[in-house]
Amino acid sequence: PSGEIVEGDSVTLICSSDSNPPALNFIWFKENQTSAVGSGQRFSISSFNSSHSGLYYCEAQNKYGSQRSASISVTVEGENHPCLS
């Protein structure tokens, strides 16, 4: 998905899985950071600003293993125009 958001607003990313058995855990990562930034199917960034810019992805885990999602880019375009793509 893509679209403009206003700096200062909240951004929520959602991870889903159709694994069998169902995924028990969802962990969120920001690329180029060593530790997770969140957990659960939803990851929210409150008061979005340029420091939040980057590529985010989730990892869904069940008892057989884990699978990483595609990355989504969350960036600020222009002075006050963050863009989600």
Task: Name the E strands within 1-85.
Answer: 3-4, 11-14, 25-30, 38-39, 42-45, 54-62, 65-68, 72-76, 82-84
Q: Which domains does the chain have, with CATH numbers?
A: 3-84 (2.60.40.10)
Name the token pair of 35: 């530790």
pLDDT for 50 equals 86
Residue-level pLDDT at 23: 97
Measured from the Cβ of residue 33, the count of other Cβ atoms closer than 10 Å reads: 10
pLDDT of residue 10: 86
Q: Are 44 and 26 in contact (CB under 8 A)?
A: no
Looking at residue 81, what is its pLDDT? 53
Could you list the mean pLDDT of each consecutive 10-residue stretch along the chain, which spans 85 residues? 73 94 97 95 92 93 96 72 57
pTM, entire model = 0.83
